[in-house]
Every structure is written in structure tokens, then in C-alpha cells.
Structure 1
Amino acid sequence: MNAEITLAGAEFAQRFSATRRGARLARRLVVHQLHAWGVPYGSELSEDVAVIVAELAANAVTHGYVRGRDFEVRLTTGAYGIRIEVADAKGERRPAPCAPCGPDAPVAETGYGLCLVEALAEKWGVAERVVGKTVWAEVEWPEAGRTP
């Protein structure tokens, strides 16, 4: 982590095509933006935000897809850390439950995305929009890089 991160109030917002390619691009641009803000590539914070964006963008493309509509990724910073928002055009608010984990749990190929978000974020949720919904997550700054 760079010595100084004074980003309270910084914001990044971008719309992407609701395709797998758009989801990959979202993840890459977010990591690039974090680096421009002083969060180095490969740092724990950068990797955590990248995974969250990848999962939420993949869900927006897979489950929130509406023909002809894009999805949007927004990052905002504050004293607490980074808020990640991914908005899509489908209004269903009910996220799929996490797949059960543990040695006795059945093996599944899908259903772990929101479990990753839950594990990496301090908190997350779903908010209604005029058209569609926004799934958000908040990640705290590491102690060494906490903003004043």
C-alpha cells in the first residue's frame, strides 16, 4: 500500500456492455483505477475489490441481463474504505443464497459468487433503482492505509 491514500470522496463510474467481455473489462478497469488512486496492483485490497467486482459483474451479466441494457460499475471512497456498486436493469432483488460449504456439502459448480463477496466485504446488500437494482459491497482500508 502506498504511504498516502487520501481519497475520501473519489469516484469512478463506468457503463459496460452486459456481456462476459464487459464483465472482464470492468474488473480490469477497476484494478487500473485503484492503482491510479494509490492502491498498487496485486495488493490485498486491489485483489479483494477485483474479486468482488468480477463476481458482481458476472452476476449482472448472467442474472441481471436485459436485452439492449448495459450494467454500471461505480467505486466511491470514504474514510471507511471503498464502496463497490454494480447496477443492472433487472429489478429482482432476491440474490441467490450462497452454496453450502463444508466437508459434507454437495459439490456444485456455481453458487459461490456471493459467498466470496460476503467473505471479502465488511458488508453488502441490494438496493432498488428506478430501473433495476444495485448490488453493493464495502471493503475497509487496511490499517496502514486508512484515510484520515
Structure 2
Amino acid sequence: MNQATPHVVARVGAFTQLLSSTRRGARLARLLAVTELRSWGVSQDLTERAELVVAELTANAVLHGRVPGRCFRLTLALGPAADRLRIEVSDARGDLRPLPRPTDTDPLGTTGRGLTLVTALADHWDCIPYPPSGKTVRADLLDTSPWPPGLDPTSPTTLGISTGGPRR
């Protein structure tokens, strides 16, 4: 019995964009990241986790890393096996470095949980200097989806459903 197995090609993706240090810039970063990841064919799980991480990191860049007249930079890099995504957000305020939320803060507070969320969603995150005076917060996400990169588990072809074509 011969069954066709999908051929998955290893891909490398890279995307960088400067965006205004505004709420609109942070929203646009999230939308651009999702669009780019979908075009690369990464799994839905990785795309959804990346969307939340990008939203949190860019919101922090706008709220805490903003310098008037300076933009922030969003960079996405997909590893060769398409199983590791690095998200980097660089801003102009190197003097304000991100710190995890203290555990003794107000549990009903409405702010201060972004990095806790990033910690939960990313496999690793850290902060490095971004010369001359800024910082880059970067997060690595591993694709834990059981589906090979580039395959959508909800597509008719993957599910073995005929989508038409010539009849014999």
C-alpha cells in the first residue's frame, strides 16, 4: 500500500519593520506578525502564541520604551527547520529594562502582567542592549504542534477530503 506523504521543505523566514511608538504602531505590529507567519505557513498554535507575545512586547515598547520621535523595531526570524521562532522588539529606552512582575502586587490590578504572559508562552525570553542607547527584548518560541510546518490540520487536503478535480 503506497500512501503519499507530504513533502515538507525546510524554510527560513525573516521580517523586520520599524513602527511608530504609538498604540496604533503596536496594533499594526501584531497584525503584521500574524500575516507574515501565516504566509510562512507556520502552525496555528505557534502563530497564536506569537501574536500574544508580539502584542505584549510591543505594548511594553510603546508604554515603557518610548522616546518622542523614535520608532520601535519588530523582528521575526524563523529557524531553518521552521520549528523555532525568535521575536525581537527593540526600543530607544535602554535605561528601563523589563523585570518580571513581583508576586506581592495587587491581584486585582489591571497592569503588570505582560511579562508573566510572555514567560508562560515563550520557551525563553531575555533582554539585551540595543546600541547606542536602547534595548531589545527577545523571545524564542518552539513549535510544539504535532503537524509538520506548512500543513494546516483543518485543510480539506490534510484531512483527506476531496476538493473536486477531474473524475475518472
Q: Give the TM-score taking structure 1 as reference length.
A: 0.85
Equivalent residue, structure 1, for 2:23: 20
| CA distance in 2 between partners of 1:39 and 1:88 (Å) | 27
Count of aligned pairs: 141
Q: Structure 2: state its 5+ residue gaps.
A: 1-5, 151-168
Q: Which of 25, 33, 58 is the equivalent residue of 1:30?
A: 33
Rg larger for: 2
Per mean C-alpha deviation after superposition, the further-off stretch among 31-40 and 68-77 is 31-40
Mapping of residues 1-148 of structure 1, within 5 Å:
4=8, 6-7=10-11, 9-39=12-42, 43-78=44-79, 79=81, 80-92=83-95, 94-100=97-103, 106-131=107-132, 132-142=134-144, 143-145=146-148
Shift of 1:106: 2.8
Superposed CA RMSD:
2.4
Is the alpha carbon distance of 1:67 and 1:106 closer, same or farther for their aligned partners in structure 2, counting shifts above 3 Å? same
The AA in structure 1 aligned to 2:142 is: E
| CA distance in 1 between partners of 2:98 and 2:143 (Å) | 26
Is the Cα–Cα contact under 8 Å of residues 73 and 85 in structure 1 kept in the other structure?
yes
Is the alpha carbon distance of 1:127 and 1:29 closer, same or farther for their aligned partners in structure 2, counting shifts above 3 Å? same
Is the alpha carbon distance of 1:105 and 1:17 closer, same or farther for their aligned partners in structure 2, counting shifts above 3 Å? closer
Q: Give the TM-score taking structure 2 as reference length.
A: 0.76
| CA distance in 1 between partners of 2:99 and 2:60 (Å) | 10
Q: Structure 1: state its 5+ residue gaps.
A: none
Shift of 1:45: 1.1
